[in-house]
Chain A
Amino acid sequence: MKELALSEEILLRVEKPARYIGGEINAVIKDPSQVDIRFAFCFPDVYEIGMSHLGIQILYDMFNRREDVWCERVYSPWPDLDRIMRDEHIPLYALESQDPIRDFDFLGITIQYEMCYTNILQVLDLSGIPLWAAERTERDTIVIGGGPCTYNPEPLAPFFDLFYIGEGETQYDALFDLYKEYKKGGKSREDFLLACASIPGIYVPSLYAPSYKEDGTLAAFTPIAEGVPAKVRKELVLSMDEAPYPDKPLVPLMQVTQDRVTLEIQRGCIRGCRFCQAGQIYRPVRERSLDFLKEQAIRMLESTGCEEITLSSLSSSDYSKLKELVYFLIDETHVRHVNISLPSLRIDAFSLDVMSKVQDIKKSSLTFAPEAGTQRLRDVINKGLTEEDILRGASEAFKGGWNKVKLYFMLGQPTETDEDVRGIAELAERIAEVYYEIPKEERHGKCQITSSTSFFVPKPFTPFQWAPMNTAEEFLRKAYLVKHTMRSQLNQKSLRYHYHEADVSMLEAALARGDRRLAPVIYRAYRKGCIFDAWDEYFSNEKWMEAFAEEGVDMDFYSVRERDLDELLPWDFIDCGVTKQFLKKEYERALQGIVTPNCREQCNGCGAAVFGGGVCFENKN
């Protein structure tokens, strides 16, 4: 038996020990003496969540194709093991080799949501890596961050040596080659980091200095060394079919959140909903070819033995070959006795046909994401879905045998009035009415319309990045208003409504649009014991509020404050293709309730064409 980092006794004491043993199907084992670079890839949340993430699978496969690199994985130990590792001074280790992370060359952390920030500190701390980058020395592991939250990396900047802005497929080779050169040449960490700043997409936070105005806003953000670029442009893959994609994804030995093969059909989104960060930062849309996806689906099903396959993308209905792909997969999975899990699709004849083929109608539900309760507000947020679309889709589905509908909304978007808030309940009511208009003998019992609201958090690189956010009190008042309106309607017994507490959203907002002055707050919250903030049972708003107070940082300045259109924003040094000018124009159009057509209808000059590919150049050859 290969040795495990944790003793048998500890593994028997903790919940779900399979999280910590590695040994998954298709995990890569190499001889450490035969590689130049040891890379530990971390998803800073529990194993079951981290193992469900596609990005790590892609980069894990890509890194390990290099003979000189051994990429392994690490996840956040659950609080039960966290306690034991601290008490018994056991260093955090990588799953494949079971070797301590602190002996690795790189620790790469994917940063998918703000509420995992304290888990990043947990991982560094348990690894024995100094939390503050400035305190790291020559022998310390180099800590690099990536993922959507790095489009505003500033609250985390002092904890990282490097950030990789954009899609990982393009520049890691250059980074690894440079590292080898510096390692061989015996050069210093400082020299290496400085050289990294010249690699496209790499942001070296220690080489920039912010200064602030008296009102607390950013005055300037400038490089402090020669040759360090003032702006960092995001990296992206131009030819999706040529980008590496794993033939043999990892298959966990325990049940994880998404235990299935994931086929990424495209990146980016043509829609431009104004609240949506992903819709801007992944521009332009780039599709994978149908042939590539067909072959890849079969390869992955055969190499994993998974019982389910799913498609991944933003707005899958916009993939141009969706019909062909889905019908191919239905035939293929039928023969193999594998299920297809469909992403949420625009409800029309095609999607209803597909859904009736792959799901049990009695158990499944229709999903709509109107995001706002009235047409006026849907125009403000540029959500193309109309009430007519929803009611027509629901009506067709009800006639096809469905009787459950799920609706997703956001509360607190710019210009929202009480009428918009009540509109959420009213839309649910009208869908129920459509159901009960069907003759009784053709219905299948009662219908169930479930509405969920989340609280709108303004995000960087969206037209709403300047917008004020509602206070927690406003949010809750609006949620009660939805609830109250639901209860006062005729079909209230067929309507369900879910919302959650507002505290987490307020914190998420502060971190999302924060700057470097939040790092000490995150540090203090962590020292107070905050980890797994994304988990209700571990989130402590009280500790976070103490951390803000003790650091003398005003949370409202970051969360609810409306930004001036001329304000220098902490993330302005990042160039994601989409220009600030375009975002401003979109914000102004939003306030006037003017919708903007999608990228295939008309180019709106967002700036993403600068990359020279994708939807911007479709039909232009």
Chain B
Amino acid sequence: MTDYAIETKGLSLYYGRHRGVLDVDLRVEKGDIFGFLGPNGAGKTTTQRVLMDIIRPTVGKAYIFGKDCQKEGVAIRERIGYLPGELSLYNNMKARQFFKMYYSLQKNNNDPGHWQKLADRLGLDTSRKIREYSSGNKQKVGIVIAFMNKPDLLILDEPTSGLDPLVKQTVMELVREANQAGATVFFSSHILSEVQAVCNRVGIIREGQLVATERVEDLTTQHFRRIRFKFAKTPPGDAFTQEGVIETSRDEGGITLEVYTHLDRVMEQATSFGITDIETIPVSLEEIFLAYYGKGNGGNNA
């Protein structure tokens, strides 16, 4: 248990009779940058709130650094930097006052000037009242408070939401730097290119259930392969019609197939038409994600 930064066991949470998350067994290893993917309402925020002990599970357990999130929540939260998805701030305070207040209420106060460095990097003018900020600048305030205490675990709910591309990049740099300094990062995002760029592992949650947890490179190479063939003689239209294979394009330049299963059989068939060129086209995380959601069958898209 202690090898994991985050571990949930059979975690289910219902809002009355409405499903929040269902039987989630999640493991995030120490040192991971873990991307938590899913559409709106899938259960990402609910899972993160359970980890923060903001809401309690109906059944199941959640552990952070081996400690029960409900029973030892205070000790756990000393080591966590948290950015809520629906960030609400004290609008009448200046950002500087708010940072000082929030810092003073933390336990591991070891670098009182760190919030100012973070604010500078994000280009945030801390002398202004929070109510005067745009939504992007308010999000920057949230980023600063999550990172200000150099936590061992960062739980970030859509951290780049509402930020411009340059600031998004800075936030991703902060994530990488925190990770290099030893922090585990658990964040949800809709921007899959961002997740692919920074995360080493991802979990995909659909309708409250965790449907996949894999290393990013495994997910993008193992889920399906996209192969483009050029042939000496053009195969008939139904040449590759079989379970686990989708022909996505056909033109004079060749045929593109998405191969989910039976790669060996596909290669045999292709060889029979005289392969003149073969190319494996990289599959993005976004495509994998859409494949999981495309037909609602847990990823078996073929």
Say whether A associates with B.
no
